[in-house]
Chains A and B, each alone.
Chain A
Amino acid sequence: MQQSQPLKKTINPKPMTEGVKKQLLFRLLLVALLSLLATGLGYAVLSLPSSAPGLSELVAENLETSGVSNPVTAVLLNFRAYDTLLELGVLLLALLGVWSFGAVPERRESFPGPVLDTLSRLLVPLLILVAGYLLWVGAHAPGGAFQAGSVLGAAGVLLLLAGWRPGARFVGLPLRITLVAGLGVFVIVSAVLILVGGRLLEYPPSFAATLILLIEAAATLSIGITLAALFIGGRPEAGPNN
């Protein structure tokens, strides 16, 4: 923050009056255009009818066959499960993108301090418990794989902040298998369903609850580990010698 101020001045050695005038004109034009955009969007929003059922009735009608009683989980894992499937793919792709920039930068060696150390020891088991609870309760109340996965990811971030690093034994194949578990289980389930029933991700109602829980458990694990891995900001190296 301190450095950016003098830096900026050296970047713009142009005659100031001309530049400032153009800058001001540009800003005014921008504000005018954006006000126009905001007015248009606001008008579009206000011109919508004040009552629209949307798809809520359709969801409510089919909720019994979905295997869960929380409508949001039913939409995420059953009615529009392909959204979630692709979204797990996006998460994995983002991690691949981050990893492609190289290994973890090895310069943060700060000592966490006793408070953070104790706090992480107390909180991480609790966060894992909360993640499990959210995963289980998602079938019939607010919660589900994404919430549980992000709590798990928060636990991982806390551990990383407290100075913990994944050991060499975990970094190789086990880490990669955990990362793709969510997407993998999802793809396997949908492939099996296509072979059995002929339709993509159309669960038989008697198995729906089990299949959803299976997919959600794998997705939770993958989302949590992926978020923690994104926090590391690079590919963890396999061994201490390279």
Chain B
Amino acid sequence: MSHVFLYALVGVGLFTLGLYALIVHPHLLRKILAINVMGSGVFLMLVALGRRTPGTLPDPVPHAMAITGIVVAISATALALALMLRVQVETGRAELPEEPLE
């Protein structure tokens, strides 16, 4: 048990936290923030588990995947924000309609 597992568990926590916020909040900007937090949790878990190498050097493959993922995340965020603004122009609100629970 090393600090690697601590960070991996923090990643799990961030993923769960983001998923909760994604489901609960109706506002689209909050949903976008929540997805970003979820993504950060996934990257943290990936890189932390890639650090379990016996030597001093970490595994570079998860690092490369995390860098790629970060750039994809920002482009997806930009597209999501543009969609959100479009939703607001069309409906007047940037929130999903609150459905009554059946």
- Direct contact between the two chains A and B in their complex (CB within 8 A): yes
Query: Is chain A's binding surface mostly helix, strand, loop or mixed?
Result: helix
A163 sits at the interface (CB 8 A):
no
A119 sits at the interface (CB 8 A):
no
Contact (Cβ within 8 A) B63 A27: no
> Size of chain B's interface in residues, with CB distance under 8 A?
50
Contact (Cβ within 8 A) B50 A54: yes
B interface residues (Cβ-Cβ under 8 A, vs A):
1-2, 4-5, 8-9, 12-13, 15-16, 19-20, 23-24, 27, 45, 49-50, 52-55, 57-65, 67-68, 70-72, 74-76, 78-79, 81-83, 85-86, 93, 98, 100-101
Cα distance, A14 to B4, chains bound together (Å): 49
Contact (Cβ within 8 A) A45 B5: yes
Q: Distance in Å from the Cβ of B46 to the closest Cβ of chain A?
A: 11
Hey, what's the 0/1 contact readout for A119-150 against B, CB within 8 Å counting as 1? 00000000000000000000000001010001
Within A30-77, which residues are at the interface with B (CB < 8 Å)?
30-31, 34-35, 37-38, 41-42, 45-46, 48-56, 59-60, 71-72, 74-76
Known: A51-B53, A80-B64. A146 touches B71 (CB 8 A): yes
Contact (Cβ within 8 A) B52 A51: yes
